[in-house]
Amino acid sequence: MACHAAGETAGDEPVSQPSPWRCIDGCGACCRLDPSLRQEAIEALSPEQQQRYLELVGPDGWCRHFDTGSRRCRIYDTRPDFCQVANLVTLFGGGALGSRGGDALAIACCKQQIRSEYGGRGKVLRRFLRAIRLR
C-alpha cells in the first residue's frame, strides 16, 4: 500500500494542512507486517533490513513481538529502526518527522493503515484523528 504525500488525498480527506503527527496507544496497525500487503515498504529497506523484517513476520501476518490482545509492542524500546515512524518517513522521502511534509506523510500512512486494519469508521481511527488535532 502506498501512502500519499502532502497535497494528495488519503481516502476522502485532503492532507494539505497537516497537524503534527502523533502515535496513539493501543493501535498497532503498523505492526501488521504481512509481506503481501507491504511490498512497497519492504522494497524501501536495505537487504539487511528486509531480512530482519521478514524474520519478524508471524504466521498471522502480525509482527511476532506485537501483543494483539493489548495491542502493544513487546520490544518497543529496542524495536528495529524501520519500526520507528521518523525513520520510515525519511525512507519514503517525506522529510523529517515534525516538518510539514514529514507529518503529512506519517498522518496519511497511519490513516491508511488504521482504515485497512480496523475499518474507516472504527474507534481506533477516531482516537487517532482526535490525537492529531489536540496538538
pLDDT at res. 3: 55
Query: pLDDT by residue for the chain (135 residues), tens digit each?
Result: 445 443 344 444 544 455 788 889 999 999 999 999 999 889 989 999 999 999 999 999 999 999 999 999 999 999 999 898 888 788 877 777 778 788 888 999 999 999 999 998 899 999 999 999 854
User: In the chain, what is the greatest distance between 2 CA atoms, to the nearest angstrom?
Assistant: 39
pTM reported for the whole predicted model: 0.78
Q: List, in sequence order, the alpha helices (H) in 1-135.
A: 39-43, 47-56, 85-91, 100-118, 123-134
Nearest to 128 by CA among 32, 22, 28, 3: 22
